[in-house]
Structure 1
């Protein structure tokens, strides 16, 4: 990913926090000499060294995934930024937050590990429900999925949040984004440019 210096984020803890908050990613690998991608939720291991997820057993991406270097992309809020919101001259652009994780993929089919993964994913995403779903399913359903561990070898972060603009322009961008209902992006700009 091309990352100009003023948009670069190198704080590993910040990038891992971002991944936990925006955990639905795109797993990208090569299969039959072409890129393949799957969209799935991930969890970080307890030591934050491994991404864990699962794919449908029928997913052709599994055919060449084990042992391969992969890329997982996580996206946060994004929004169009109009130069009419600036006091100083500018051009149209797009603000966004993205984290790229590179790593080595290892697949697993151990039923206990798969059950633990499904239960942890359910626990995470059911946490705010009035009556959270309690994992109750036939273990044979686990045979329809294959787990994947991705040992993290590199993390890149890019937060393009108008850092290259004067403070007055940034505030006008925030105000315009709020007016257009793009509150997540407005809040990200405020948080990253206090």
Structure 2
């Protein structure tokens, strides 16, 4: 992705914390010579060297993934920024946060590996409920999915949060975003000010 220096994020702890908070993204590869994207929740391995997830076995994407380079694209809060919010001249733009992971993909079909991925995803997303649901999947149900494991080879991270504007403009953008309900993006901008 195109990343001007003002928007580049290289701190690995920051990047992985962002991905933990915003782990739903796109798995991008080719199917029959055309770009193909599946929207999935992802898990980062404990050692932060791999990304895990799963696809429906009927999804044609998994047929061309094994041993291939793929792109995982994750985005966070985003919104339109009006030039009317600036004290000086400006142009319409969009503020956002995004991470791209490139890596080699391996397709997983082993029931124990699939169970581990499904259990980890369930534990993560059920944790906020008062009575978390506990998964119990039959072999037939697990046979309806394939796991994916992507060994990360490159990480790109961009936070386009008005860093190229004066402090007064950034403060006004935060205020306007809050007023318009884009609270998460306003919070991300405020964190970035520190």
- Scaled to the shorter chain, the TM-score interval is over 0.9
Alpha-carbon distance in 2 for matches of 1:131, 1:16: 28
- SS for the counterpart of 2:155 is strand
Alignment of 1:116-155 (within 5 A): 116-155=116-155
Deviation digits for residues 53-98 of structure 1, max 9, x if unmatched?
0001111001111000000000000010001111111111000000
Alpha-carbon distance in 2 for matches of 1:25, 1:49: 18
Q: What residue in structure 1 maps to residue 111 of structure 2?
A: 111
Q: What residue in structure 1 maps to residue 181 of structure 2?
A: 181
Superposition TM-score, scaled by structure 2 size: 0.98
Alpha-carbon distance in 1 for matches of 2:116, 2:63: 24
Q: What residue in structure 1 maps to residue 22 of structure 2?
A: 22
Alpha-carbon distance in 2 for matches of 1:144, 1:63: 14
Q: What residue in structure 1 maps to residue 76 of structure 2?
A: 76
Conserved 8 A contact 1:87-1:169: yes
Conserved 8 A contact 1:12-1:155: no
Alpha-carbon distance in 2 for matches of 1:139, 1:130: 28
Q: Structure 2: where are the runs of 5+ without partners?
A: none
Alignment of 1:23-102 (within 5 A): 23-102=23-102
- SS for the counterpart of 2:152 is strand
Superposition TM-score, scaled by structure 1 size: 0.98
Please provide the CA RMSD for this pair.
Answer: 0.8
Deviation digits for residues 120-147 of structure 1, max 9, x if unmatched?
1000000010111011232321000000
- SS for the counterpart of 1:63 is helix
**Farther off after superposition, 71-80 or 131-140:** 131-140
Q: What residue in structure 2 maps to residue 2 of structure 1?
A: 2
Q: Structure 1: where are the runs of 5+ without partners?
A: none
